[in-house]
Amino acid sequence: MARIISMKDAVNEALDQEMTRDPTVIMMGEDIVGGAGAQGEDDAWGGVLGVSKGLYAKHPNQMIDTPLSESAYVGAAIGAATAGLRPVAELMFIDFIGVCLDQVFNQAAKFRYMFGGKAETPVVIRAMCGAGFRAAAQHSQMLTPLFTHIPGLKVVCPSNAYDCKGLLIQAIRDNDPVIFLEHKNLYASTADVPEEPYTIPFGEANIVREGRDATIVTYGQMVGRSVEAAELLKKDGVDVEVIDLRTLSPIDMDTVLESVEATGRLVCVDEANPRCSIAADIAATVAQDAFDALKAPIRMVTPPHAPVPFSPSLEDAYVPSAERIAAAVRKTLEN
Amino acid sequence: MARIISMKDAVNEALDQEMTRDPTVIMMGEDIVGGAGAQGEDDAWGGVLGVSKGLYAKHPNQMIDTPLSESAYVGAAIGAATAGLRPVAELMFIDFIGVCLDQVFNQAAKFRYMFGGKAETPVVIRAMCGAGFRAAAQHSQMLTPLFTHIPGLKVVCPSNAYDCKGLLIQAIRDNDPVIFLEHKNLYASTADVPEEPYTIPFGEANIVREGRDATIVTYGQMVGRSVEAAELLKKDGVDVEVIDLRTLSPIDMDTVLESVEATGRLVCVDEANPRCSIAADIAATVAQDAFDALKAPIRMVTPPHAPVPFSPSLEDAYVPSAERIAAAVRKTLEN
Amino acid sequence: MSNPFPLPKEQLLDAYRKMKTIRDFEERLHVDFARGEIPGFVHLYAGEEATAVGIMMHLHDRDRIASTHRGHGHCIAKGVDVKAMMAEIYGKATGCCAGKGGSMHIADLSLGMMGANGILGAGAPLVCGAALAAQKLGHDGVGITFFGDGASNQGTVLESMNLAAIWNLPAIFVVENNGYAESTSVDYATASDSYVDRATGFGMPGITVDGLDFFAVYEAAGEVIRRAREGAGPTLLECKNVRFFGHFEGDAQTYKAPGENEYNRANNDCLKLFRQKVTEAGVISESELDAIDAEVAQLIDEAVAEAIAAPLPGPEQLTTDVYVN
Amino acid sequence: MSNPFPLPKEQLLDAYRKMKTIRDFEERLHVDFARGEIPGFVHLYAGEEATAVGIMMHLHDRDRIASTHRGHGHCIAKGVDVKAMMAEIYGKATGCCAGKGGSMHIADLSLGMMGANGILGAGAPLVCGAALAAQKLGHDGVGITFFGDGASNQGTVLESMNLAAIWNLPAIFVVENNGYAESTSVDYATASDSYVDRATGFGMPGITVDGLDFFAVYEAAGEVIRRAREGAGPTLLECKNVRFFGHFEGDAQTYKAPGENEYNRANNDCLKLFRQKVTEAGVISESELDAIDAEVAQLIDEAVAEAIAAPLPGPEQLTTDVYVN
Ligand SMILES: Cc1ncc(C[n+]2csc(CCOP(=O)(O)OP(=O)(O)O)c2C)c(N)n1
Ligand SMILES: Cc1ncc(C[n+]2csc(CCOP(=O)(O)OP(=O)(O)O)c2C)c(N)n1
Ligand SMILES: [Mg+2]
Ligand SMILES: [Mg+2]
């Protein structure tokens, strides 16, 4: 029987179930409970958009509000992960990584290698990402390429509530540091999500829609838009395959390469900025490893090389639309 | 008449000449003078490798030692750049960006856009980059893709002393924030460097070596190795073009595309880690914009997806060698 | 009757006008946001006006301030055009940032306003830079960074305090302590008993004032700004405040004590306190202030009407202003 | 003669052995580095042995420490295998990090040694995490982060002090104040008059001790560690030190006063001071200590010989250990 819940509720449920299963799973972040030290209601916020609302009542010893010191508390989550806990640290917006990157990229990501394989750092860093919220340049970035570039990190960006739950549970159970990016525009999106806990393995892309004429590879919010684009193209008799990467590191290039071998045409869609992007990463790998299968130039669809603008009119033009994606597919079909 | 000096001296000369020309050019960083507050010699260090040695004696009011607070002083350089100075902030190793990234990527890079074009932030952030110094995982990274990904930053990584002087002077005179990466392994490399100040414009690649059979695109330390590879290949009668990008953002794709149109074969060489790298960025753009000219799969030569190891035996295997580059070129010639 | 205040009447009227402008600006945004007319995140400054204006009355355009996510008050006090601000918040091409910045990024460098900021604590290093520039360029400008009780625990702020102290910068660190960081109490999040202790830990003097009392703020700010201008170095100035609205618009504020907002509106309203003081001293009449109120109300009405009528930026604006060249 | 010291003779001998091992380890590296036999950056701890050992004598494997770039002393004091350390510094497959880490990344989590660190101040948050884990897992372990006078101005350290204080963590912040950060004096770089003031600014007690006096360190550390174990929260402990060598090997040290190193070797040598105290008290004889000296010398000789003889890691190691799976 279908149980339709939002991605926001899926995140909450995954955290709830994992904290129940394993008392060493703790969560920390700014106002993830809310009202600490204040005179009003306990559990007043549940995070800035209410994602963790109610978890404090169920797991009072596992939910910790933090001061506005991301280096200290993200680093503490990492340190605790090497000392017997499995912390989930919430960085409110991934844009705030600039004040705590060192702990993530020079510490968590490198411990295992630098220490000759002797460390395990099972930490999850959850953060909101993405544009479309009128939140402007410092609260709307994707930044997926930054983390994907860094060896030692795993990078996850789900496109829907079902995947989100399974990937988050996997992230918490995973023994490596995971950057878990939740697109704020997808929180309200709903899917059929089983109540019981389940995991989705990392490095397994999802073929969201099968097709023969061209392959679209993407992730996150762009999955929905790519499917929309595929619907638009269907009307013209064009049959497009849409691949949702789900995890960017590790990345399931096998599925991508197989698809391109079949379709011969590739469009990489990325909400991140274009230079050194996930789109570029995939395009480059395909141009190296499946070149002979390609019948047309690879096309990339991304925002421009510019920060995210505030004004609705600009932001709407900034984020790739189904129309722009469809146009790119049409272009690959010209060859 | 030839004047052969090292890249280290070229940096020193560029800073010296610009500070002389323009008193609003100031430089700050950790121990860039040395001995502050101590009882021994003034100007005791000139930076950790002596690059700025002697500049304090000539420009005492323009050389400022800082406490070990990168966020504060890099941010101060950025703030000062909006207030009438043209600061050059030295981040000793680019690996330290993790403690001060916000000031660079959310502040300096975005001011102009967020403020609707009303800000100018003429700041240069100089840092050592790259491997080969047995300096291990936290002192050997390239990180060029991180900065190249971010709109609003310019990213420079010279391959030789001549370019280094001209590009650094351009960086100081440029009105945008510039990340200026000096490969520590190249400091000792020498070139014929004119004494008088000169600039090299950003976004103009240098064809270091012309060739008909294949194109190698690279930058920094890998330029020398690519030329070596070209020499190796010459013995087999293979004639390789080597393009030194010099600046990664802006990037001179025209020169790359033109070369690939002529040779039909492309090898992208990058000392940065492979995922979302500069190599991937170029490969992807070529696979989009010069696809029809390609006669063979594009090849990328990079270190593995792993941190930089300490042991000489591992580090030597980590950084792409002339042999590996040559092998990649040979592979593109198989098609 | 003689004027017992440290400012002439003209300036008192000006201060009142600025505070009232901020208040009306924010009250109006509150209403219009609830109506769904304003995009994005909006953090209102209402309740804290005396702090911004009490400090900014001492500043010239050459003096630099760096603001926060809660920046409208600082902007208005520093002289940013109110209509251009309103248009910006509406995302219009006529906005002071051409619609690209929005509420969290309003700036006007020509007036010394270095920008509201979406990143907590980010202004502190920037202001050290502005103060350094004043030092190096040989003018008497100061730099003032505002940050909240929550942001006072950001590494950037803490590092900057040390930097300013060792470089003896003309920099002032203003903690706007409104008791909350989002929903979290300052008592939970800040370990030190007093911000004065924290200042001492970074080798600079610290002063705490009632941020609701325009005159207390004005006086303390005057002193620390004078010190800074004279080369005596940085100071931390804590201004105790109240926040009339939620953290951002849409905040249900259940973390506050029951009746807290009503109590503050009744007893801790810096505008009422100001009005009371200046009228009781007989320096300004109620009707003079009422006249300002009416002018301000009209200004805000016009600002909103013009913002609504203004055009959105066109798509060609998407890729301009990324680089100077 | 009775033992006037707070440790039984066995432990005094153990402490001496540890300090002497650190000293000889570092003196030997100094010589071998100059000979060109050691790759990379090497920062020597010689001169500061009493601090590491005085503190670590109180710790169990469950207690966690985070070290710095100058980490050899902390590692040896915490019990990391000296031969495995030497092999690591030589980049050998037998090194404690399999040759992948080198001098700046020696770690042994099983002994509670969370790693030397190439990033200043990075250990402070990590140790807060270890202390939090102790709290949550309900054991009495403490976390100790070491950092220099220079690193004391890193935002990570400062934020962590506040965090530890508000969470009442069993965390201890040890400033090893050797007067220099590279070539820069602490007087230039750190604004506060005393680290005790800084501790106060973060709501925790601060103590300053003579880091050269093993017994002073031992006593102060015992007290603050006991407090932490009992749930009384964090403390800052400043240990005043001297650095016998340069910042790193290869440093000409011209920033030091003429004769400074010689003076310190003669008058501020923590090993000599220890020897003097324990022999004058008649608790340990010169010959007992000499015997330890000889054993340590042999250990270091063996460590170097074995390190030199050990194989380098093979290229198949390049891509292992990036992920657990
Ligand atoms: C580095 C960073 N962390 C977190 C946030 C999210 N955030 C925005 S405002 C805020 C609370 C700020 O509290 P305070 O500093 O007291 O200022 P106030 O809102 O009370 O004026 C938080 C947590 C942010 N913008 N930047
Ligand atoms: C974040 C960061 N900034 C700068 C450096 C470079 N660096 C390494 S050690 C050092 C000096 C440290 O001085 P101090 O903290 O006093 O420790 P000491 O060397 O005296 O033991 C510097 C600047 C670094 N490793 N990390
Ligand atoms: Mg507040
Ligand atoms: Mg020191």
C225 CA from centroid of ligand 4 (Å): 34
Contact D95, D303 (CB under 8 A): no
Whole-angstrom distance, CA of residue D195 vs CA of residue D191: 10
Q: Which residues of D touch A66 (CB under 8 A)?
A: 163
* Closest atom of ligand 2 to CA, residue D122: 1
Q: Report which protein residue has its CA nearest ligand 1's atom 11.
A: C181
Q: Which helix (H) or strand (E) holds A334?
A: helix A322-334
Spell out the SS3 assignment of chain D.
Answer: CCCCCCCCHHHHHHHHHHHHHHHHHHHHHHHHHHCCCCCCCCCCCCCCHHHHHHHHCCCCCCCEEECCCCCHHHHHHCCCCHHHHHHHHCCCCCCCCCCCCCHHHCCEHHHCECCCCCCCCCHHHHHHHHHHHHHHHCCCCCEEEEEECCHHHCHHHHHHHHHHHHCCCCEEEEEEECCEECCEEHHHHCCCCCHHHHHHHCCCCEEEEECCCHHHHHHHHHHHHHHHHCCCCCEEEEEECCCCCCCCCCCCCCCCCCCHHHHHHHHCCHHHHHHHHHHHCCCCCHHHHHHHHHHHHHHHHHHHHHHHHCCCCCHHHHHCCCCCC
Six token digits for residue D212:
């050269």
User: Does C250 contact A at CB distance below 8 Å?
Assistant: no
The DSSP-derived string for B230-276 is HHHHHHTT--EEEEE-SEEES--HHHHHHHHHHH--EEEE-SS-STT
D contact test, residue of C198, C204, C208, C235 with most D CBs within 10 A: C198
Specify the pLDDT at position C48. Answer: 98
Return the biggest CA–CA distance within chain A. Answer: 67
* Closest atom of ligand 2 to CA, residue D154: 1
Q: Residue B325: what are its φ and ψ, rounded to 5°?
A: -65, -45
**Which residues does C117 contact at the CB level (< 8 Å), separation at least 6?**
A138, B107, C66, C67, C68, C69, C71, C104, C105, C123
D259 CA from centroid of ligand 4 (Å): 19
Using most ligand atoms within 8 A of CB, pick from C41, C48, C188, C247 the residue to mutate for ligand 1.
C247
In this predicted structure, the answer to whether residue D168 has a pLDDT above a threshold of 70 is yes
In this predicted structure, the answer to whether residue B1 has a pLDDT above a threshold of 80 is no
| Span B49-77, pLDDT tens digits | 999 999 999 999 999 999 999 999 999 99
Whole-angstrom distance, CA of residue A127 vs CA of residue A180: 6
Query: What is the three-class DSSP state of C11?
Result: helix
Answer whether D159 sits within 8 Å of C162, measured CB to CB. Answer: no
| Span A46-65, pLDDT tens digits | 999 999 999 999 999 999 99
3-state helix, strand, coil in chain C (%, to 5): 50, 10, 40
Give domain B206-333's CATH architecture: 3-Layer(aba) Sandwich (3.40)
In this predicted structure, the answer to whether residue B101 has a pLDDT above a threshold of 70 is yes
What are the C-alpha distances in Å from C250 to residues A50, C38, C43, C181, D222? 12, 12, 10, 15, 51
Whole-angstrom distance, CA of residue B334 vs CA of residue B324: 16
Burial A10-43 (b: 16+ CB within 10 A, else e): bbbbbbbbbbeeeebbbbbbbbbbbbbbbebbeb
Q: Which residues of C touch A310 (CB under 8 A)?
A: 39-40, 91, 97, 99-102, 105
User: Does C123 contact A at CB distance below 8 Å?
Assistant: no
Query: Where would I find the H helices in B127-191?
Result: 144-149, 161-173
pLDDT tier at B335, thresholds 50, 70, 90: confident
The mean pLDDT of A286-293, rounded to a whole number, is 98
Answer whether C128 sits within 8 Å of B103, measured CB to CB. Answer: no
Q: Of the candidates A201, A112, A105, which has an alpha carbon nearest to the alpha carbon of residue A148? A: A105
Using most ligand atoms within 8 A of CB, pick from D119, D120, D173 the residue to mutate for ligand 2.
D120
Q: Which residues of B touch D118 (CB under 8 A)?
A: 95, 136-139
Which residues on neighbouring strands pair with residue D148, listed in sequence order? D176
Whole-angstrom distance, CA of residue B76 vs CA of residue C198: 21
What are the C-alpha distances in Å from A36 to residues B312, C150, C192, D203? 51, 12, 17, 18
Using most ligand atoms within 8 A of CB, pick from D26, D182, D186, D242 the residue to mutate for ligand 2.
D182
| Span A76-119, pLDDT tens digits | 999 999 999 999 999 999 999 999 999 999 999 999 999 999 99
C-beta of D242 in contact with ligand 2 (< 6 A)? no
Whole-angstrom distance, CA of residue D243 vs CA of residue D23: 12
Chains that touch D (3 or more CB pairs under 8 A): A, B, C
D contact test, residue of C202, C236, C238 with most D CBs within 10 A: C202
Nearest CB to A138; choose among C119, C121, C256: C119
D177 CA from centroid of ligand 4 (Å): 5
What are the C-alpha distances in Å from C60 to residues A278, B70, C56, C144, D126? 47, 30, 8, 12, 44
A35 CA from centroid of ligand 3 (Å): 13
The mean pLDDT of B90-107, rounded to a whole number, is 98
Q: Of the candidates C204, C194, C197, which has an alpha carbon nearest to the alpha carbon of residue C173? A: C204
Q: How far is CA B241 from its chain centroid?
A: 21
Task: Give, in degrees to the nearest 5, the angle at Cα B165 between B160 and B171.
Answer: 115
Q: Of the candidates A247, A231, A249, which has an alpha carbon nearest to the alpha carbon of residue A239? A: A231
* Closest atom of ligand 2 to CA, residue D178: 20
Contact B7, B158 (CB under 8 A): yes
Six token digits for residue B240:
């390789």
Answer whether A76 sits within 8 Å of D129, measured CB to CB. Answer: yes
D183 CA from centroid of ligand 4 (Å): 9
Which residues on neighbouring strands pair with residue C172, listed in sequence order? C144, C235
| Domain range list for chain C | 9-307
Six token digits for residue D181:
């950060």
> Which of D 135-174 lie inside 8 A of A, CB atoms?
136-137, 143, 155-156, 159-160, 162-163, 166-167
Contact A172, A14 (CB under 8 A): yes
CA dihedral B10, B11, B14, B17 (to 10 degrees): -100
Residue B139: active-site member = yes
What's A4-192's CATH class? alpha beta
Return the biggest CA–CA distance within chain D. Answer: 60
Neighbours of D314 (CB within 10 A): 12
CA dihedral D80, D84, D89, D90 (to 10 degrees): 170
The beta-carbon contacts of A19-23 under 8 Å, at least 24 apart in sequence, are A19/A55, A19/A58, A19/A59, A19/A62, A20/A58, A20/A59, A21/A197, A22/A86, A22/A172, A23/A61, A23/A62
Specify the pLDDT at position D40. Answer: 94
Six token digits for residue C298:
């009209």
Q: Which amino acid is at A99?
A: V
> Which residues of A form the catalytic set?
139
Domains A4-192 and A206-333 share a fold: yes
Burial tier of B237 (Cβ tally within 10 Å: 0-12, 13-18, 19+): exposed
**Which residues does B118 contact at the CB level (< 8 Å), separation at least 6?**
B112, C97, C107, C108, C109, C110
Contact C89, C38 (CB under 8 A): yes
Six token digits for residue C96:
């002071």
Six token digits for residue A96:
């705030």
Query: What is the three-class DSSP state of C208?
Result: strand
Q: Of the candidates B184, B131, B188, B199, which has an alpha carbon nearest to the alpha carbon of residue B161? A: B188
- The length of chain C, given as a count of residues: 325
Whole-angstrom distance, CA of residue B79 vs CA of residue B75: 6
Answer whether A289 sits within 8 Å of B297, measured CB to CB. Answer: yes
| Domain range list for chain B | 4-192, 206-333
Q: Which amino acid is at C128?
A: C
What is the fold of C9-307?
Answer: Rossmann fold (3.40.50)
Q: Of the candidates D189, D93, D113, which has an alpha carbon nearest to the alpha carbon of residue D149? A: D189
Q: How far is CA B115 from its chain centroid?
A: 28
Answer whether D159 sits within 8 Å of C156, measured CB to CB. Answer: no
Contact D102, D108 (CB under 8 A): no
Give pTM, 2 decimals: 0.98
B115 CA from centroid of ligand 3 (Å): 25
In this predicted structure, the answer to whether residue A14 has a pLDDT above a threshold of 80 is yes
Whole-angstrom distance, CA of residue C37 vs CA of residue C31: 9
Chain D's closest residue to B40, CA to CA, is D255
Angle between helices D49-56 and D9-34 (to 10 degrees): 140
Whole-angstrom distance, CA of residue A267 vs CA of residue A229: 11
Q: Which residues of B touch C162 (CB under 8 A)?
A: 67, 69, 72
Specify the pLDDT at position D1. Answer: 61
Residue C316 gets which letter from DSSP? Answer: G
Chains that touch B (3 or more CB pairs under 8 A): A, C, D
The mean pLDDT of D65-77, rounded to a whole number, is 98
Percent of chain B at pLDDT > 90 equals: 99
Burial tier of C62 (Cβ tally within 10 Å: 0-12, 13-18, 19+): middle
Whole-angstrom distance, CA of residue B2 vs CA of residue B17: 19
Whole-angstrom distance, CA of residue B246 vs CA of residue B223: 10
Per-residue pLDDT of chain C (325 residues; tens, 9 = 90+): 689 999 999 999 999 999 999 999 999 999 999 999 999 999 999 999 999 999 999 999 999 999 999 999 999 999 999 999 999 999 999 999 999 999 999 999 999 999 999 999 999 999 999 999 999 999 999 999 999 999 999 999 999 999 999 999 999 999 999 999 999 999 999 998 899 999 999 999 999 999 999 999 999 999 999 999 999 999 999 999 999 999 999 999 999 999 999 999 999 999 999 999 999 999 999 999 999 999 999 999 999 999 999 999 999 999 999 999 9
Specify the pLDDT at position D193. Answer: 83
Six token digits for residue A73:
């508390």
